[in-house]
Amino acid sequence: VVRLRAGSLISADAVLLEASALHVDEAALTGESFPVVKSAAASAGEIVPRNRVHMGTSVRSGEGLALVVETGALTEFGAIATSVATIDSETSFARGTRRFGLLMTQIMFVLVTLVLVANLLLGRPILDSLLFAAALAVGITPELLPAIVTVTLSHGAKRLTQQGVLVRRLVAIENLGSMDVLCTDKTGTLTMGDVQLSSAVDVDGNVSADVLRWAVLNSALQTAMPNPLDMAVLARKGDVDTAGFSKAGEVPYDFERKRLSIAVSDGTTTTLACKGAVASVLAACTKISIGGADRSFDPDRRALEEKRLADWSGQGQRVIAVATRTLDMPQCRPEDETGLTLAGYLLFSDPLKPGIAETVARLKQNGIALRVISGDNRYVAAHVAAAIGLHPRLLNGSDLEGLNDVAFSRLVAKATVFAEITPDQKERIIAALRKIGHTVGYMGDGINDAPALRAADVGISVENAVDAAKASADVILLRQDLNVLLDGVVAGRTAFGNTIKYIVITISANFGNMISMAAASLLLPFLPLLATQILLNNLLSDLPMLAISTDRVDAEALTVPRQWDFRALMRSMVGFGLLSSLFDVLTFYVLLVPFHASAATFQTAWFVESLLTELAVVAVMRTRKSFFRSLPSPLLICTSAVVATITLALPYLPFVDLIGMVPLPLPLMASIIVIVLTYVAASELLKGLVNPLGSSPPHAAAARRKPRPAHR
């Protein structure tokens, strides 16, 4: 059993046996700036959040007696630490990469098996057949993918660092580009996270200096540890004149009364200044001050005040009532808190961040839906959501208790605002959104946010967050500003776009060449390319791809979340592969009929043609636009030009006979160049039909991303 007083750091989870004006700061767990009022449990069966205190929180005011029920890893704090220590969940990009790897493995296995068996049945030497089949496997594989991904992500991380975004895990950049749902807390992200006294008003709603003066005197002269509301009141101390007043007595705040009274003397008159919860103060009032005159506080007027209170609460305001009474004695006792005159109200708010509504609109324009997940009450959360431009579809934490995964996911899918949410519910909400097909980002800065940060596809924290949150995050913002996050989203979509470019270009060109090579090996009396030539071809064609990280991405492709589109990959591989094979057949015809090429001449000429087509198609397939309307980056152009020059010069270099090549007649070389140019024109026409980079934004992308059933 532990006794709690103002300033106590709570070191275990406990149930309250006694509580007197006990206010606990739970910001370390919930992130909310207001202390929480706690009360003693009436019975062993009444164990609810207001009866419990948790490890890692602290007492702001009051006293209590608590029975420890959980310690160490079994506490809420410990459960969060245990959750953070679990293995990271598979992210959207990692899941797509794994599926792509499995797809390529299946294609490679089928192709290599067929070629190897066919060559053995034709009586080819087993070693040559095995080497040729292995070279085909290497040729169709985008083996530079790990290097391309790393270089592209590193380039994006460097850009983000310059913009105030630190990337702890490189893969998070890709996930930022794929993110289509951003979940964030309210306090400190959408709002300033700083409680302010927005106004002190009389009972008619007019600004009142008298109400502010009584509130300032009440907060300044109390002896308890000041809470955020008192500090917000005292911040307005300079707006009123309190000179000449002195304290004559005090009735401290307690949970039963929910009010605090101070007896104030100006030398001639002693006045009781009382402030507290509206319902509690109104219950002690028999009069109301209207226009400077005291009137009877009748039932009709009480109903009007209660309606005004409901309106203010719906606007996200936290309301405290102020009442006064003239005392006959220069002191005050609890029984003096009767017959009070209602003077007015204090309206507190946590102001929205400047420009946050415009930022939320920009997120929506960029295909990112915002979800507000807050531990605050439903009225404040709904008001903030509406103020920033969301259409609040509210879901309360109590609505989610006891639901199975299917029912939970169904409710979560429809909601935009989650209020009064516990830390474990945050993590479950993130998991549910991911299960129904979203790529989810979560932004948080408290200890209670750590599990949700780990559960999200991309966890986002800020520089001034607690260590547990920063350790769980993938991305850390040096400024708690969603505009900075938007820069990261654009960088992520750029990195993802360039990665997809490499994959689409490589597998499309390689697939066509490998199919042609496999077919030619069965029809020709010699191998169409030697194993060394296949590997050299593959190496040279991949060199320009190392510069793909510097390439430009079309502006329209940056306005929507990017996802793996396996249908587009398959369309591209089959469509451009067949087109490539068609031109390979044309090349075979030209080599064998007009030029009567020998085996060495055939292999050299086809090496040049296949490599030039792979280089030329880079300019075509890297953009949805016509290639001459969206030029590659200077570095990509230069590397492609250098490799093309090497390719044209290679047959005429000394020692090329070591890899089975011979010089080509100039008419044959000219014919190859004509075939390549024709192939580029045909590829440009095919691009409009196949759409290798996926659905065009924005509507097609949105239509493609329909939620998947939970059982998947």
Q: What percent of the chain is helix, strand and coil (3-state, nearest 5)? A: 50, 20, 30
- Give the separation between CA 567 and CA 701, rounded to whole angstroms: 13
- Give the separation between CA 507 and CA 105, rounded to whole angstroms: 12
How distant, in Å, are the alpha carbons of 16, 227, 424 from that of 375? 21, 19, 12
- Of the listed 180, 185, 376, 474, which one is catalytic? 185
Count CB atoms within 10 A of the CB of residue 138: 17
Helix axes 566-592, 482-523, angle to 10 degrees: 40
Q: For residue 89, what are the contacts with CB-CB under 8 A and spacing of at least 6?
A: 454, 455
Find the angle CA(634)-CA(640)-CA(645) to the nearest 5 degrees. 125
Look up 185 and say whether it is catalytic: yes
Residue 667 buriedness (CB in 10 A; 0-12 / 13-18 / 19+):
exposed
513, 614 in Cβ contact below 8 A?
Answer: yes
Pick left, alpha or beta for residue 632 (phi over 0 → left; psi -120 to 50 → alpha; otherwise beta). beta
H helices of 524-565, in order, are 531-542
**Sign, CA torsion 606/608/613/614:** positive
How distant, in Å, are the alpha carbons of 209, 414, 426, 440, 706 from that of 241? 9, 52, 47, 52, 62
Q: For residue 258, what are the contacts with CB-CB under 8 A and spacing of at least 6?
A: 37, 276, 277, 279, 280
* Backbone dihedral angles phi then psi of residue 283, each to the nearest 5 degrees: -65, -25
Chain centroid to CA 160: 15
State which H helix or E strand residue 562 sits in.
none
How distant, in Å, are the alpha carbons of 213, 283, 480, 532, 621 from that of 331? 19, 22, 48, 101, 85
- Give the separation between CA 468 and CA 487, rounded to whole angstroms: 25
Query: Token pair 């949700």 is at which residue?
Result: 452
Within 13 A of 702's CA, how many CA atoms are on the CB side? 12
Residue 50 is classified by DSSP as: G
Query: Which residues are tagged catalytic?
Result: 185
